[in-house]
Every structure is written in C-alpha cells, then in structure tokens.
Structure 1
Amino acid sequence: MDWSEHISPDAADIAHMAKEAIAGLPQPYRAAAAEVTLRVEDFAPEPILDEMRIADAFDLTGLYDGIPLIEKSVMDQPDGPDTIWLFRRPILDEWAARGDVALGDLVAHVFVHELAHHFGWSDEDIARIDRWWE
C-alpha cells in the first residue's frame, strides 16, 4: 500500500472517537460522561510523567484528572474540571502494535477505562460496560 497519501488521525479525530464512545454507555452514565472535559495531546506532559514515575511517554495512553464522583463532597474546592486526557501517539503506537483492533475501539477502551476512575467503577463494572475485546 502506498502510504504517501495517508496521514495519521489528529487530535480532533481521536476526540471524535472518544465522544462517540459516550453513545455506547448505559443511559445513566451518558450525560455525566459528556460533562467530563476531554483533552487530547500527543504525549503526557513531562510533569505528569515525572509525578507518575513513567520513564517512557509511550507507556501512558490515558489519564483521569479529578475527584471521582463517589468521593466528591460539597466541601471540595476543585482546582479545575474533571478531565480525561488521551495521548494520541501512545494510542496510535499501541494500535499499530496490536494489529487486531479497530482504532475507534481502542480509543473507546482507553476513554472508558479513564471514565471508570471518574465514576468509581470496579474492574467488574468496566468489564460489563466495555466489552471491547469481543
């Protein structure tokens, strides 16, 4: 295949795929999921990698930054909105390495995994909601 006419998906494409994943969520979660801020960057910023002690930026595909709903209190003074970060280049790298999953499915999986932190879902909850491996 001649790849000279193809470009990789940009941040807007990845964001669109993540937002499409919201439609696949069970009804009680759709509206709340849509309220979470979504940021797509090529890689995690260095301070985040340093804080998480991650040496290789390709090892982090997504991140939830916020206070999970099950832990929120009216007394909380948040620094900013609850945010899900998706890191485009590590996602594309994982997608290429796997070769067995559609990119939209992988983006949805990473997004839902980070959304699980927001909702306070258990691994069992995630497995019921995100059956991307099927």
Structure 2
Amino acid sequence: MRKALFEELVREAVADIPEDFRQIMHNVDVHVRRMPTQRQLKKISLSPGQVLLGLYEGIPLTNRENYGMVLPDVVTLFQLPIEQICSTEDEVKKTIQATVIHEVAHFFGITDVELEAWGVA
C-alpha cells in the first residue's frame, strides 16, 4: 500500500475518535513509520511471535502532575507490520483503527491488561 493511502487511513481513524477525547489529546502527535526502531523495540517486551503494530510514547494522563511546556506525546503506527498481518485493504483499515484506539487508550492511562480484559487488546 502506498504510504499516502496508509497515512490517510490513519488520519481517518484519528478523526473517528469522539471530539471530547480528541480535545484532550491536543498535545499528542500521531506518526506513521515503516518499522519500529531498535530503541522502540527495546522499550517493550515482545513475546516470540508478537508483532509491534503501534506504540504510545509519553506520560499517560493518569500519571501527570505539573505537566506543561513539554514536547508532545507520540503515537506511532508501523506500516509494514500492519500490512504483513493483513491480506486486504479493509483488514488494514480495521487494524489501523484498532491500533489507534489501543495506543490512544494508553494516553488515557489504560493498560494492556485492562484492554485485554475488555477484549480490545
């Protein structure tokens, strides 16, 4: 898939987040990268066979105190891993939507364990 189309699907997924939540995310940048960097991979513990589709880097809202004048938090989606697990453009779109929701949930302080318990991991 062309990077421009992938990026458009990411923009659509972010736009689908309810406005009340998007307003709170004013200091969150969403990026698309082809693959995660070694630094990003070292930050997390992947089990064998797991693939990193997206990553939230920042301080969750639930952990903030005197928070201001800082660089934006970043949600990154990784195009190649997403494409590798999908066989159709529709699957890519759905995976992007799910990944955006998953990573934005981390911004709001929701953990992987909570997401798994809710069936949205």
**Which AA in structure 1 matches 2:85?**
E
**Greater helix percent: which structure?**
1
Call closer, same or farther: CA 1:85–1:24 in 2, change over 3 Å.
same
- Whose relative contact order is higher, 1 or 2, with alpha carbons under 8 Å and at least 6 apart? 2
1:94 offset after TM fit, Å? Answer: 1.1
1:12-91, aligned counterparts within 5 Å? 12-33=4-25, 35-54=27-46, 59-74=51-66, 78=70, 80-91=71-82
In structure 2, the residue matched to 1:116 is: 105
Call closer, same or farther: CA 1:77–1:25 in 2, change over 3 Å.
closer
Give ranges in structure 2 of 5+ residues lacking alignment.
none
Equivalents in 1 of 2:89, 2:85: separation in Å? 10
SS of 1:39's equivalent in the other structure is strand
1:101 offset after TM fit, Å? Answer: 4.8
- Structure 1 length as normaliser, TM-score? 0.69
SS of 2:86's equivalent in the other structure is helix
SS of 2:100's equivalent in the other structure is helix
Contact kept? 2:55, 2:77, Cα under 8 Å: yes
Number of residue pairs matched? 116
Q: Kindly name which structure, 1 or 2, has the bigger radius of gyration based on alpha carbons.
A: 1
CA RMSD in angstroms comes to 3.1
- Structure 2 length as normaliser, TM-score? 0.75
Identity of aligned residues (%): 26
Give ranges in structure 1 of 5+ residues lacking alignment.
1-7
